[in-house]
Amino acid sequence: MRHTIGFLSRNVAAYALLALARLAAYAQTAPTPETHGIVVANMDRSVKPGDDFYRYANGGWIKRTEIPPDRSDIGVFDSLIDLSQKRIAGLIEEATTANAPAGSNTRKIADLYRSYMDEAAIEAKGLAPLRPQLDAIAAIRDEHELARALGGSLRSDVDALNCGCFHTPNLFGLWVAPGFNDPEHYTAYLLQGGLEMPDREYYLSESKSMRDLRSKYQTHVSAMLKLAGFADTDVRAQHIIELEHAIAEKHISLADQHDIYKANNTWKQADFAAKAPGLDWPEYFRGAGLSSQASFIVWEPTAFTGESALVASTALDTWKDWLAFHLIDDYADVLPKALADERFAFFGKALSGTTEQHPRRQRGVALVSDPDRGAAPTLAGRGVLGGAVGQIYAHRYFSPETKAQIEAMVANIIAAFRRRIDALSWMDPATKAEAQAKLTTLYVGIGYPETWLDYSAYEVKDNDIFGNLWRGGLFDYHRLIARLGHPVDRREWGEDPQTADATELPLQNALNFPAAYLEPPHFDPQAPAAVNYGGIGIIIGHEMSHTFDTEGSAFDPTGRMRNWWKPADLPHFNAAAAGLAAQYDTYKPFPDLAVNGKQTLDENIADLGGLSAAYDAYRASLAGKAAPVQSGLSGDQQFFLGFAQSRASKSTEASVREQVMTDDHSPGEFRLDTVRNLDAWYVAFDVKPGDKLYLSPENQVHIW
């Protein structure tokens, strides 16, 4: 589900008021507390559900909803995010007025926010905070010092299983996680990197839109260097773009990154010089603080071979310019406004189609707490002090009663999965036993983690935003590499409680559902069971399905990479998966662009499995009783509409194109089309042959 980063308290209060106003603007985007179920006004009953179920369920909402100028998309899901942001803003306001003791989490929250909001101080300092780093780059004299600098820029990725790449100024990325082959201990994974635009295709595609973006990107690179005081910026920018184009040619595709078995490549330190010559690897690892790490799992070996060769074949001055540009660009939001505005002009307007930048107060709240609305570097893709804010958030806003109600739903969905696995005619009993064991050992975290991150080693100053981010990145990096070789905490979370997202962690055989995610439209404790199972129930089932999909099936109940399927089982699974991929290949958001069924396969399998299991769990929860009718809608209709209405969204064309090219999730309206594979949907809405979404029984896909 995936996968970014003080002035006076009145600034926070003003943001809180802004967030409230935004919530009012979204009043019809999601079920309100008074609705407690399906929002009939969001439907368009002039559309036949069998022709376009997405618009039947959401047509009214689509017609009256406009994409705000500071966004590239909007959905009913945004009301959930905005509620979290409003609450976070209030918590930060409290922190800024608390006069908390130095070194406490509350004081760090306040000081970090103040340092970001002090725009006058940021303007007065100019590029001075960056000068030591820029001077160090300029002083690089040879390939050995370059390798050490490249290693010194290494940082940690969030989750290689959800990315497989590293889009920051680092040549490579590091992921610290349980080992493929030793799931009991943390292991170092290295990932291809070096690109600033979202994916290799942005550099390699010859489509007009991609060529235009590359031209704008080169203009952006030149502009940023010029603002930073560099000379001959057009020539430097051209060389940087040529280098990144060469790096992109070495990258493997997003679809290929999802082949876990190809990613399991253990290299000892001594192997790097032979397998990826061109980079001084001992100096690289020395710069990264990893000289004592005996081995790594290299996710994309061909990319490492190719990128390392580029280190030797590309002019030293070009590498120095590349390092300097990316350092400036990555920290632009905490540098003078001209730099921040230029970065947004490309990444916001040109790349994403967003016409206005989020207000600084909103970006500040996000930087402290939550990456969903952030624009600056953050700790491992999370808010810089996300865990500190999350601890307060969970205590304030997530009740034990809500936690218990959702945990009961989880138990019902696990039971539904068990029944579905037992009923599979094609699966060998030994394979079924392994699948059932995965359900037995599965950890499902609801609301908040069982232990909280210790920030005592992280220094925050109220007048040093660049230093706060720089130290924060090092704090997180050192915290993670210190784990290498140590036992795994299988109940550690990948999200903070205030983050509106859900996560599946296959190497831990765990799922996380943060508190902020467990709000309407996903979950309403007063809504009918049908709507909740259609909302959060399907999401829980979706994440649970990932433990058995083309990626999850590669890991056994302990999290070890092991093929636990009997040979005869895989052909059926692969054939069904291929059928689903082919189904999604036919979906076109634009005449010249189709969904990539292979790239999105794991998410599409999870949608189908989650929908099927949640429906079974919902029906079982009725215990034979008739479901209550709401607004003339039967229980089954409410279930499927709950699924559809909790996923309504609108996006700019640029945003949709980026998603199709770079994301392993299909656009929302096509994700809803998975209902075509459930018999119950046909019965609920009287879908017949001749309807546009109708699939004959032999063409429907059934996996779990």
Residue 285 has pLDDT above 60, yes or no: yes
List, for residues 150-170, the tens digit of each pLDDT value. Answer: 999 987 654 444 443 334 558
Cβ-based burial of 585 (10 A; exposed 0-12, middle 13-18, buried ≥19): middle
- At residue 236, the pLDDT reads 98
- At residue 12, the pLDDT reads 30
Rounded to the nearest integer, the mean pLDDT of the chain is 89
Task: Confirm if 484 and 293 have CB atoms less than 8 A apart.
Answer: yes
H or E segment at 266?
strand 266-268
Gap between the Cα atoms of 195 and 408, Å rounded: 44
- CA 122 vs CA 118, 462, 466: distances in Å: 7, 12, 9
Q: Interhelix angle for 601-621 vs 569-585, to 10°?
A: 100
List, for residues 98-109, the tens digit of each pLDDT value. Answer: 999 999 999 999
List, for residues 261-284, the tens digit of each pLDDT value. Answer: 899 999 999 999 999 999 999 999
- CA 394 vs CA 363, 440, 451, 682: distances in Å: 21, 27, 12, 40
pLDDT more than 90, % of the chain: 76
List, for residues 170-201, the tens digit of each pLDDT value. Answer: 899 999 999 999 999 999 999 999 999 988 99
- At residue 563, the pLDDT reads 83
Residue 216 has pLDDT above 80, yes or no: yes
pLDDT more than 70, % of the chain: 91
Residue-range domain boundaries for the chain:
130-334, 400-442+528-699
CATH architecture of 400-442+528-699: 3-Layer(aba) Sandwich (3.40)
Residue 218 has pLDDT above 70, yes or no: yes
Phi, psi of 444 (to 5 degrees): -115, 105
DSSP helix, strand, coil percent of the chain (3-state; round to 5): 55, 10, 35
- At residue 156, the pLDDT reads 67
List, for residues 291-324, the tens digit of each pLDDT value. Answer: 999 999 999 999 999 999 999 999 999 999 999 9
Lowest average pLDDT, out of 294-298, 421-425, 635-639, goes to: 421-425
Residue 625 has pLDDT above 70, yes or no: yes
- At residue 585, the pLDDT reads 96
- At residue 167, the pLDDT reads 41
More confident residue, 61 or 23: 61
Nearest residue to 64 via CA among 78, 46, 44, 83: 44
Q: Interhelix angle for 281-288 vs 143-152, to 10°?
A: 30
Residue 23 has pLDDT above 70, yes or no: no
Class of domain 130-334: mainly alpha
Residue 440 has pLDDT above 70, yes or no: yes
Place of tokens 């009043």: 27
- Would you place residue 551 in the very low, low, confident or very high pLDDT band (cuts 50, 70, 90)? confident
- At residue 372, the pLDDT reads 47
